[in-house]
Amino acid sequence: MPNKGITALLAGSVCMYIWVFYFVERQQSLALATAFSLLFLCYAIVMKKREQISLRTLLFFSVVIRLVALFAIPALSDDVYRFLWDGHLMQNGFNPFSFTPADFIEQHGLGLPGLNKSLYELLNSKAYFTIYPPIQQGVNYVVTAIAGPDIKMGIVLNRSVLLAIEFCLLALALKMFKKDKYIFIYFLNPLVVLEVSGNLHMEGAMLFFLAGFFFFFYKKKHVMGFASLALAVASKLLPLMVFPFVFNKMNFKKAVATLLFTVLIIGLLFYPLLDVGFLMGMKSSLALYFRTFEFNASVFYLVRQIGFWLVGYNVIQTAGPMLALTTFACIIALSFYDRRQNFTWPQIAQYCLVIYFLFTNTLHPWYVVTLVGLSMFTRAQFSLVWSFFIFFTYLGYSDTGYTENYYLITIEYFLVLLVLLKDLNIIKVQWPWITN
């Protein structure tokens, strides 16, 4: 395909993104499936032919497909309204971890600035405590301080922050990978664009700080590197999983000192939120996550089905925590294996996330964004397959609620595991793919 044809594909993708961002609702399954499939097909072709496209053109479209979302209202996720609610709680002097929205209005009503009925009715988790770490809460605070009670302005400002972080990540990737166009495996990925720029999830920020950690660590600037790791943890807690591997990368005394330094920074970032309410709210949120929520799971759904056969009810109350312990044990085992294999930091982060995702009872589409970003470093193909199939979990939404399609989930995990085994050289399969 000539260069002009590929450029036309990218221009067509921009038009398709505009349609999805502004005109498609979550319950419109056919429209969503069609649009995403076409976007992914264009993405696959562009990445296959990337050497025929100038770096400037790829950069231009990576920026444009994000900027066109600037004024869109998130249609696939309503988490942004909880971001604004938490920000307004802080503006009024309350710790967002201390109250569920339902408890707050019961005790304080809806008369405080920003905490109004129109925002409250948009919340999807009125009976749950917040779960968002300090970086997200800091963004929430700044955004609501500027936007006030204007919900649309709050969304635009929130997106502006995430776009700035994505553009910083793009600049860092260009610095780290020079002129290697493979970085666009992340920046042109449709799931990434829709979940970070569209739905305003913080995985982009976590990935930026993780990339900073990789960059500074291999430059032997460990203070800057582990400060970046602390910021990644303060964006999303998942990077805590790489901590055991520090002992494999430096001597014991230096590893202890480095981890203490990292924990100190994390503590300072969490400090403004720390009180009894924070501890109680976080405890409640973690209990809900491991003992109540379930979505698009793999191993857990198998365990749950066995539980139905054996005891006649959903065993999530015990299976959830047990699978979390299994995840922890597998990561510790992997850290011992790393002593022989000497994995790179991106490989370590990738393998830890894979373990966590396979054993978790809740796996939303935006969780996979980080794996796609890590594939810039590892060239793993399974994360790209996952970024395609996991989007179709959105097809379960309708005007009456949500229904999971277990056939789609089975196909998703079967193909992801198949390509993962190929990436690990456990099976030998040859097929054309966009990384060739």
pLDDT, position 58:
96
Per-residue pLDDT tens digits for 213-224:
999 999 999 999
pLDDT, position 284:
87
pLDDT, position 179:
82
Contact 274, 97 (CB under 8 A): no
Per-residue pLDDT tens digits for 373-424:
999 999 999 999 999 999 999 999 988 889 999 999 999 999 999 999 999 9
Cite the beta strand spans of 127-275 per DSSP E.
none
pLDDT, position 280:
86
Contact 269, 134 (CB under 8 A): yes
Mean model confidence pLDDT for the chain: 94
pLDDT, position 25:
93
- Say whether pLDDT at 172 is over 50: yes
What average pLDDT score do residues 30-53 get? 95
pLDDT, position 145:
97
- CA pair distance 19, 16, nearest whole angstrom: 5
Question: In terms of pLDDT, which residue wins out, 179 or 197?
Answer: 197
115: DSSP letter: -
- Say whether pLDDT at 436 is over 70: no
How long is the chain? 436
- Say whether pLDDT at 435 is over 70: no
Output the pTM of the full model. 0.95
Coil, helix or strand at residue 398: strand
| Burial class, 400, CB count within 10 angstroms (exposed 0-12 / middle 13-18 / buried 19+) | exposed
Indicate the pLDDT class of residue 2, thresholds 50, 70 and 90.
low
- Say whether pLDDT at 431 is over 80: no
Per-residue pLDDT tens digits for 151-165:
999 999 999 999 999
Handedness of CA 355, 359, 360, 366 (dihedral sign): positive
What average pLDDT score do residues 343-351 get? 98
pLDDT, position 433:
52
Indicate the pLDDT class of residue 185, thresholds 50, 70 and 90.
very high
Query: Cα-Cα-Cα-Cα dihedral of 416, 421, 423, 426, to 10°?
Result: -170
Per-residue pLDDT tens digits for 188-209:
999 999 999 999 999 999 999 9
- Say whether pLDDT at 268 is over 70: yes
Contact 239, 232 (CB under 8 A): yes
pLDDT, position 434:
47
Indicate the pLDDT class of residue 60, thresholds 50, 70 and 90.
very high
Buried residues in 198-208 as b, exposed as e (16+ CB within 10 A) = bbbbbbbbbbb
Reported as type and span, the H/E element at residue 158 is helix 151-177
Contact 181, 55 (CB under 8 A): yes
Contacts (Cβ under 8 Å, ≥6 apart) of 264: none
